């Protein structure tokens, strides 16, 4: 009996240790990220960094303006969401509500394969196929645009959005659906007035995770968006090249002298990215809680 208790306690502590390890890792990442970014603000003011319009990290008059990079990231992400959310939710509804079970079983593995393709392969595909296509069909000076990045990101976010939305839709209690149909609602009315509202918490979580994936994506964007550090307009800027925060870090981290302003500026960009994804997660969480309460 005693031995058993010790064993139980032992396992508890081992598991406690392992789970706190994640917290420690997160804490250390924050610590190093913020420590190095704060060093930048000894040299330039926070306002100059946040509102600066030019990113010239290696010139004589160094300028570390976050604005073009931040807006570039946001533009590409918004474009990706506009593209992938309707498609993703429509596919999820089709797979879970309308498709013949055999068709659904056939479609699902393909969607999962889509999620397994490495981002550099997406980037290569975008560069070779989509970039020339966009330049020729839209008659643009170059095909390396925010739109190209948005489409690629949208495709990459689709599996996340479809799988999680589909889970949410499937887990709507069948009593709700049957009740709706019994009251004389058509299938379509049931889907958009009963099932989708009931699954909204899961669908929102899916969208937020899609946003998270999109804003953190690096390789694909570096290959297809052209990386021009200009402040994009909306929506016209979708047809211009943009540079995202992630691509900037990836492009410049290789050569930057350690401990220089440029080095700290890249860490500061990383911190901004971190804070944004953190906020997105918080929002996703709060949406989830709010809607769950309603359905229950």
Partner 1 sequence: MVDRLKKGYIIFTLFVLGLVFLGIGCTGSENSKDSFPAKKTSSENAGAQEITLKGSDTVLPLAQAEAEEFMKENPKKSVSVAGGGSGVGITALIDGEVDIATASREIKAEEIKAARANGINPVEHAIAYDGISVIVNPQNPVSELTFDQLRGIYNGSISNWKEVGGEDKPIVAISRDSSSGTYEYFKEEVLHGDEFRPDALTQPATGGIMGEVSQNPNAIGYIGVAYLDGSVKGLNLNRGNGSVAPSPENITSGAYPLSRLLYFYTNGEPSGLTKEFIDFVMSKKGQNLVSEVGYFPIKK
Interacting residue ranges for partner 1, rule: CB under 8 A: 3-4, 6-7, 10-11, 14, 54-60, 68, 127-128, 131-132, 135, 141-144, 222-223, 226-230, 240-241, 243, 250-258
Q: Answer whether 169's CB lies under 8 Å from 97's CB.
A: yes
Q: Rounded to the nearest whole angstrom, what is the least distance from the CB of residue 49 to partner 1 in the complex?
A: 17
Angle between helices 131-138 and 146-170 (to 10 degrees): 110
Q: Nearer to partner 1 by C-beta: 56 or 278?
A: 56
Q: How many Cβ atoms are within 10 Å of 55's Cβ, its own excluded?
A: 21
Q: Rounded to the nearest whole angstrom, what is the least distance from the CB of residue 115 to partner 1 in the complex?
A: 25
Q: Nearer to partner 1 by C-beta: 59 or 175?
A: 59
Q: Rounded to the nearest whole angstrom, what is the least distance from the CB of residue 69 to partner 1 in the complex?
A: 12
Q: What element of type H or E holds 186?
A: none
Q: Rounded to the nearest whole angstrom, what is the least distance from the CB of residue 10 to partner 1 in the complex?
A: 7
Q: Rounded to the nearest whole angstrom, what is the least distance from the CB of residue 78 to partner 1 in the complex?
A: 20
What residues contact 221, with CB distance under 8 A and at least 6 apart? 76, 123, 149, 152, 153, 244, 246, 247
Q: Rounded to the nearest whole angstrom, what is the least distance from the CB of residue 235 to partner 1 in the complex?
A: 18
Burial class (CB in 10 A: 0-12, 13-18, 19+), 60: exposed
Q: Answer whether 148's CB lies under 8 Å from 134's CB.
A: yes
What is the DSSP annotation of 45-103?
Answer: -HHHHHH---EETTSSS-EE--HHHHHHHHHHHHHHHHHHHHHHHHHHHIIIIIS-HHH
Q: Rounded to the nearest whole angstrom, what is the least distance from the CB of residue 141 to partner 1 in the complex?
A: 4
Q: What element of type H or E holds 251?
A: helix 245-252
Spatial distance between the Cα atoms of 5 and 11, rounded to a whole number of angstroms: 10
What residues contact 24, with CB distance under 8 A and at least 6 apart? none
> Of 217, 171, 207, 196, which is closest to residue 281 (Cα–Cα)?
207
């Amino acid at each position: 009996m005693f031995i058993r208790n010790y064993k139980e306690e032992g396992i508890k502590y081992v598991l406690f240790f392992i789970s706190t390890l994640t917290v420690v890792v997160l804490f250390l990442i924050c610590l190093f990220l913020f420590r190095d970014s704060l060093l930048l603000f000894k040299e330039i003011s926070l306002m100059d960094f946040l509102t600066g319009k030019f990113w010239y990290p290696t010139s004589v008059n160094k300028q570390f303006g976050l604005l073009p990079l931040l807006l570039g990231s946001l533009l590409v992400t918004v474009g990706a969401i506009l593209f992938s959310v309707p498609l993703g939710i429509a596919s999820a509804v089709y797979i879970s509500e309308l498709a013949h079970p055999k068709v659904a079983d056939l479609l699902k593995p393909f969607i999962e394969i889509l999620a397994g393709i490495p981002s550099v392969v997406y980037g290569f595909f975008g560069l070779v196929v989509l970039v020339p296509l966009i330049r020729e069909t839209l008659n643009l000076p170059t095909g390396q645009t925010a739109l190209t990045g948005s489409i690629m990101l949208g495709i990459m976010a689709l599996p996340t959005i479809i799988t999680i939305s589909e889970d949410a839709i499937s887990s709507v209690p069948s009593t709700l659906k049957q009740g709706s149909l019994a009251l004389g609602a058509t299938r379509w009315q049931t889907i958009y007035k009963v099932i989708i509202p009931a699954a909204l918490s899961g669908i929102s979580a899916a969208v937020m995770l899609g946003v998270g994936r999109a804003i953190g994506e690096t390789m694909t964007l570096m290959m297809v968006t052209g990386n021009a550090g200009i402040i994009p307009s909306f929506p016209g800027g979708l047809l211009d090249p943009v540079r995202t925060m992630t691509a900037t870090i990836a492009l410049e981290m290789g050569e930057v002298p350690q401990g220089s302003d440029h080095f700290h500026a890249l860490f500061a960009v990383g911190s901004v990215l971190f804070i944004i994804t953190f906020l997105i997660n918080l929002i996703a969480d709060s949406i989830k809680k709010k809607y769950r309460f309603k359905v229950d």
